[in-house]
Amino acid sequence: MLKTLTNLAVWLLLMNLSYAQQRVLKGTVVDEQTKSPISGATITLEPSKSGTSTDEAGNFSIEVPTGTTSVKVSIIGYNSTTQTIPSSNENFTIALTPQGNDIEDVVVTALGVQRKAKSLSYSTQSVKGEELTRVKDANPMNNLTGKVSGMQINRSSSGIGGSVNIILRGFKSNRDNQPLYVIDGLPITNTTGSGSEGAFGGGPDRGDILSTLNADDIQSINVLKGASASALYGSQGANGAIMITTKKGAAGNLRIDLSSGITADQPYYLPKLQYRYGQTTEGSEESWGEKGSFADPVKDFYNTGTTLINTVSLSGGTDKMQNYFSYGNTTNNGILPTNTFKQHSATFRNSTNFFDNKLTFDGSMMYSRQDIKNRPTSGLYFNALPGLYMFPRGLDFNQYQNYEYLSPTRNLYLQDWWNINADAGLTGTHHSQNPFWVLNRNPNFQLRDNIIAQGQLKYTLTDWLSVSARGTLNKRWDKWERHVYAGTQGVLSGERIDGVIDDNGRYTRDEMESTAIYGDFLLIGNKTFADEWDLNFTAGTSINDTRSRGWNLDQSKLAVANKFLLSNIFREAPINTLNETISRRQLQSIFASTNLGYKDRIFLDLTARNDWASTLANTPREKKGYFYWSAGLSAVVSDMFTLPSFISYSKFRVTMAEVGNDVGIYSTIPTNTLVTGVLNSNVAGPYQGLPLRPEISRSYEVGYEGRFWNNRINFDLALYKTNTRDQYFTYEAAVGQIFTTAFLNAGNVENKGIEAALGIDAIRKENFSWNTSLNFTANRNKILELAPNLGERYPIGGNFNVLRVGGQFGDFWARTFLRDENGTIVVDDTGRPQIGPEGYIGNNNPKSIVGWNNTINYGKVALSFTIDARFGGQVISVTDGYLNSFGVSEESAAARDAGGVDVPAVKLDGTPWEGKLPAQAYYSAVGNRDGIIEGQVYSATNIRMREIAISYALPIKWKGVNGASISLTGRNLFFFRNDAPYDPELNTTTGVGGQGYDSFALPATRSYGLNLKASF
């Protein structure tokens, strides 16, 4: 691979032409409104088509012939302009108008088709690439937080490069709610990193494909929020789409861009722990003992993490061929000792024109490799944090930094912990292990290689009609393993066979290879009739084929201790678990869309698509597939009527759409399975043989776009309503049914909400500008129907999430306090709260999400910052429950200091409890995974300083250096308000049923960074 990349880079260098050096033309490209510099703008000389592009400071330098020169400047997100530069002018400034401020601007829509923004009948929102790299994150999707209305982003608590869970306009399905991701018009398959559910956890997040993308390669991101916007992608786009446009080469001399950044990551918002009450009694796990003063083992445990993100890119070419090549490297040492993350990525893109530009080719290949050691996990299992946080107060933590001892009975190094020592007969409990043992003797390793290769051929038949053939290959190889050394706590360690083998450790390993192939053929037309009617249409067909093959091993019986090899599997007893899986699904489609415009003022938008899904084989839908459509109307009233002068632009839009989604793989043709050498006959199938149907979502949207006072204020408003019916469910059928596990269609989930985006050019002067924008989202979700077969509640995942009629996605259903008829907590004679029935205890969805973004430019200095907030919703912290019940939390200590917990209560006989409840009695009943979960619920409302950056354009005049800048950055610096005992944005899993739950997750980090960018 390295040799190939080297050859590509050398070829790119050789492709650039030499130009006569009559004179050097220098200039700067800025935003017409904010006066801020625009990086990556293409500068093309007319008519030669040679050119260059601007650096991070918006500067460019190009060799031009003597005399008057015509220059065209263009970049996605801005309207192109062509200016004539006289021979006397050798240094000038060109101002570009942002798209959206001009009614003729063009945006990238579904299938990568470019459309006039004013002709769209649905809501979209764009984010420029520079906003993704201003304050860098290993997963560029995290930088969308607060920048797009209608979008909710939750992060995995697995550290750098972890998965993200992105939701557009609320949860709709009990399976997958994430949007489709599209790179340069072609869809890719994103993996859901997931992670473990429940208090025990133990399974780390595997990361997603999004984390393998290099943010420096991204030109812009356009978010298609509703079903109408993404209907052309069919069932893949049922949850909206995120359109990623990557950078490409520009005609002109070779350009080299360098970006280098370093950040220091500090753990913050740690649990509030106490160190003034000691161990309850000798040998006890809890700390409800006598008062004293004890050492804090947490403060010196975490490291200051470091992250290096570096990218170098080369671009250039001729008017016939342009090339772009980049190499990126990310290296991280995490805040958790022994955790490392390394990523290498390379991108090559070529654009070539043939036959006088009638035939164009655009192809790219992205490769990445991730090498991760000890990615943090949540939960009690294989996690260093339970042992660290719950270590009994008064014992010597430093004694156990040497986490192992040489066992005289086994001649092996075994775990040494205050309650784990095999030779002393101490077996411990599943609550904790020695943190240093977990990190060094229960390590996990992950390797991921990912390739995204794309190619597009487009042929222009006439001046208004073209055809194109496109395809993409997404290939991924994953390998993951965990080494569990002999001496690990018994629940997690290897097995013993009396008289045969002892605990020799445990070996877990899985490997997966997946391939996703997409191809389509498009006919695209753009025709004007009678100078009044504009017709834009697209018709085509596509195929999407996804295959995977993998195997997993979990072996608890090893022949030789601590040798983690397949050849070390103990052969004289059955293997614990060995599975091989093979899967394939295919989607074939035909589709068409048309946009009819009248006098460039009124636009009718129609789409239609029919899918044939392999997962619906053996059903009535197998032959006819499933059809869906969209229809929309938009009117630019500012072009139709004379409006007050302060209104620069005014547009209304309305749209409705219906999209479908298929069912689970192999559910219509159930198969037998082989598991560890045992043939299991199929016991699953459609409920009572009823044919399964596709999931259908119908949505309605109305919106308004307005710009005021010479485009200094812009406003976008959308109101929407979506009903999703016939979700695919799996449930355990009643005795006597044909299948014990049944599949059926059921449900009607409604989402309705409001999105608003406001942008203001507060100050617009030559050397000083301030642009501020506000995004607002409010979504309401309600479950209107569920099949009676599913019962009153249908559990999703293992984090207390349920679906119930009249409830919402994200409802928590768990143990509550027993209360009397007045709602007062009932306690026993010791003051211990009694467990009541399971019931509704909260919902993890926010009532509203707000993002406030600011960019201030003064001369060569720029300041930008984002503050975002989530209001409403609840989270469950099992971590806090355990810390309280074990007596190690500050809350439990403060209650002891105050003489108890001040909560009104009554005894079982109904008489009032006098005074405060004993702290130990109260928290031991409420805390941990088996306690009263209602007492572990907290408000998720939080307001934070998301990111801030201060940059300076260096006044470098060196030959060959087009420009350079340096910046100081900060991310997640502090909370203005946080009602939860942890960062509620972090989750143990990115799965549907795992949001709003914390079980000993890695704490959030505060990051400080230094970035340097230069262009040559």
Residue 534 structure tokens: 């504009």
Query: How confident is the model at residue 735, as a pLDDT?
Result: 66
What's the rounded Cα separation, in Å, for the pair 182 and 240?
A: 11
Domain 2-98 CATH assignment equals 2.60.40.1120: yes
Tell me which DSSP letter residue 377 carries: -
Query: How confident is the model at residue 87, as a pLDDT?
Result: 65
pLDDT tens per residue, range 753-805: 999 999 999 998 888 999 999 999 999 999 999 888 888 888 887 788 899 99
The domain 124-272+305-313+324-346+354-379+443-484+496-510+527-879+942-1015: what is its CATH number?
2.40.170.20
- Which residues neighbour 744 within 8 Å (Cβ) at sequence distance 6 or greater? 686, 687, 690, 692, 729, 731, 787, 789
Q: SS3 for 660-699, per residue?
A: EECCCCCCCCCCCEEECCEEECCCEEEHHHCCCCCEEEEE
What's the rounded Cα separation, in Å, for the pair 703 and 695?
A: 26
H-state helical runs in 862-1008: 878-885, 890-897, 919-926
What's the rounded Cα separation, in Å, for the pair 785 and 729?
A: 13
Low-confidence ranges of the chain (pLDDT < 70): 1-23, 33-35, 47-50, 56-57, 67-68, 76-77, 87-91, 99-105, 192-196, 735-738
- The phi-psi region of residue 821 (left if phi > 0; otherwise alpha if psi is between -120 and 50; otherwise beta) is alpha
Residue type, 107: V
What's the rounded Cα separation, in Å, for the pair 371 and 511?
A: 14
- Which residues neighbour 932 within 8 Å (Cβ) at sequence distance 6 or greater? 815, 816, 817, 833, 835, 836, 925, 926
CA of residue 748 relative to chain centroid, distance: 26
Four-point Cα dihedral 640, 643, 648, 650, nearest 10: -50
Structural domain spans, the chain: 2-98, 124-272+305-313+324-346+354-379+443-484+496-510+527-879+942-1015
Residue 557 structure tokens: 């019986």
Handedness of CA 1007, 1010, 1015, 1016 (dihedral sign): negative
In the beta sheet, which residues pair with residue 546?
Answer: 516, 585
Query: How confident is the model at residue 995, as a pLDDT?
Result: 83
Residue 354 and residue 437 in contact, taking contact as beta carbons nearer than 8 Å: no
- Look-up of token digits 């989270």: 875
Cα angle at 974 between 973 and 980, to 5 degrees?
135
CA of residue 174 relative to chain centroid, distance: 18
Residue 220 and residue 245 in contact, taking contact as beta carbons nearer than 8 Å: yes
Tell me which DSSP letter residue 576 carries: S
Residue 388 structure tokens: 């660290």
Q: CA nearest 153: which of 460, 161, 143, 118? A: 143
DSSP H or E stretch at residue 743: strand 741-764
Query: How confident is the model at residue 190, as a pLDDT?
Result: 81
Query: How confident is the model at residue 1012, as a pLDDT?
Result: 95
Residue 889 and residue 895 in contact, taking contact as beta carbons nearer than 8 Å: no
DSSP H or E stretch at residue 855: strand 848-858
What's the rounded Cα separation, in Å, for the pair 295 and 288?
A: 16
pLDDT tens per residue, range 123-161: 888 899 889 999 988 888 899 999 999 999 888 888 888
Query: How confident is the model at residue 239, as a pLDDT?
Result: 87
- Which residues neighbour 829 within 8 Å (Cβ) at sequence distance 6 or greater? 907, 908
Residue 505 structure tokens: 């450790």
Residue 1012 CB coordination number (10 Å): 16
How would you class 713 by CB atoms within 10 Å of its CB: exposed for 0-12, middle for 13-18, buried for 19 or more?
Answer: middle
DSSP H or E stretch at residue 385: helix 384-389
